[in-house]
Amino acid sequence: MPVGFQLRGYLILRRVLQPVMRGVLAGRIRKGKENAARAGERLGVATQARPAGRVVWMHAVGLGEVLALRPLIVGMQQEAPDLNFVITSTARSSADVLRQNLPANTVHQFLPLDGPRFMAKFLDHWQPCLSIWSEQDIWPGAIYDCAVRDIPVAYVNGRMDNKSTAKRARLAGLYKRVFGLFDLIAAQDDQTAKNLSSLGGRDVRVMGSLKPAAEPLWVDASVLGTLQAALEGRRIWVAASTHSDDEAVLIGAQRELVKRDPSWLLILAPRAPARGDEIEGALDQAGLSCTRRSKGGQPDPSHSVWIADSFGELGLWYRLAAAAFVGGSYGGLGGHNPWEAICLNLPVCHGPNVANFAKDYEVLDCSGTSQPLPNDASSVPALVDFVVQSQTTKASVGTLVEDAKAALKPLVKDLIAMIRAGA
């Protein structure tokens, strides 16, 4: 297999740097950035037994990206019921949530570091018949190792903006070889397809995002019922995956809502639950009483905000609320996934910066399923109006979800065909 100068250099470096990788991992464990109990997975040591039969390996960087793969897993299992799946991710926060939301015959492991020994242990244990990569997390060594073992490799739900493409173009020789190793590439949009082709992708197809086809987030029905009874009479809205720039607008809106009617309750679920202290301080300064999920708190009539500083409960918060603000859309972060709320028929609003989901929000805004908010002094009154109006309406997803599920079928058949061709 011809590898070229840059890929050959990468392969040499990854071998030489394996001791350094171990040291970096140890440092991250000390800082609490890795799950110490499962750190061996990052070195290729599996913590679960391999199931009998065929195993498909899927990888996505974090929670939202992994959850987007669920409809693909379900579709492939419908075509080939004997398939098992191992999903890898790198974000520590993904593990607990995934355990509750994964389909049948599917397990989660953390992605091994891109050293040849670590990846060899992983591949020797799981022996995948197909490797599927998604979104933007591409590791050249792992993909090369699959290709050397004649494991078919696919790249789905591809998303790459011009900025990311320009960065990779600095190592054009490396990425030309790496993207040339994929047997199938499916992009979310035309611009991504163009960018991937410029980096060496072959026969790139456009099929849209997988996220609209995802199943609703899991919820503990007993917990939901208990909270619905406890919060009866409250007018509830939720702000999900928020950051400080979002919260400046949210706090202003909640202050205005509470002035009008003290029964309003904002469930504020930050993207990083560790920010609970910071958010509590900002609410205190604003004169909004709050309680925190991480401390076992539950709102009583005196509380205006419930800080949902916990992992894995977004499905619960969305089901308690009548409207949702999706964060990361004020400031420069580019927004977060709106589809988890949309799939539960919640009206959604968002700030002006949604570059990460530009195509998704374009479709949702045009259909009236989501509403953009301004980036000026009128943002707070606009958010207040949206929340009030949403109390008497439900979002209508129309055919958006069904169309997304139908679009999966050709991809599923092609992926199954890759398995059979490699058998």
Amino acid, single-letter form, for residue 165: T
Task: Determine the Cα–Cα distance for residues 315 and 152; give it in Å rounded to an integer.
Answer: 35
**In 231-293, which ranges are continuous DSSP H helix?**
244-260, 276-286
**In 156-210, which ranges are continuous DSSP H helix?**
162-169, 172-180, 190-198
Say which residues have a Cβ less than 8 Å from residue 194's Cβ, sequence separation at least 6: none
Q: 65 an active-site residue?
A: yes
Sign of the torsion angle spanned by Cα atoms 172, 178, 184, 189:
negative
- Tell me the sheet residues that pair with 85: 56, 106
Question: For residue 305, how far is the Cα from the chain centroid?
Answer: 25
For residue 135, give the nearest of 106, 164, 107, 115 by alpha carbon.
Answer: 164
Residue pair 194/171 in contact (Cβ under 8 Å)? The answer is no
DSSP state for residue 221 in the 8-state scheme: H
Extract the tokens encoding 87: 């999903």
Three-state DSSP class for residue 156: strand
Three-state DSSP class for residue 165: helix
**CA dist 217 to 85, 315, 398, Å?**
19, 5, 19
Catalytic residue among 34, 41, 65, 247: 65
Helix (H) or strand (E) holding 290: strand 290-292
Residue pair 370/338 in contact (Cβ under 8 Å)? The answer is yes
Say which residues have a Cβ less than 8 Å from residue 202's Cβ, sequence separation at least 6: 179, 180, 182, 185
Task: Determine the Cα–Cα distance for residues 210 and 158; give it in Å rounded to an integer.
Answer: 10
Q: Which residues are catalytic?
A: 65
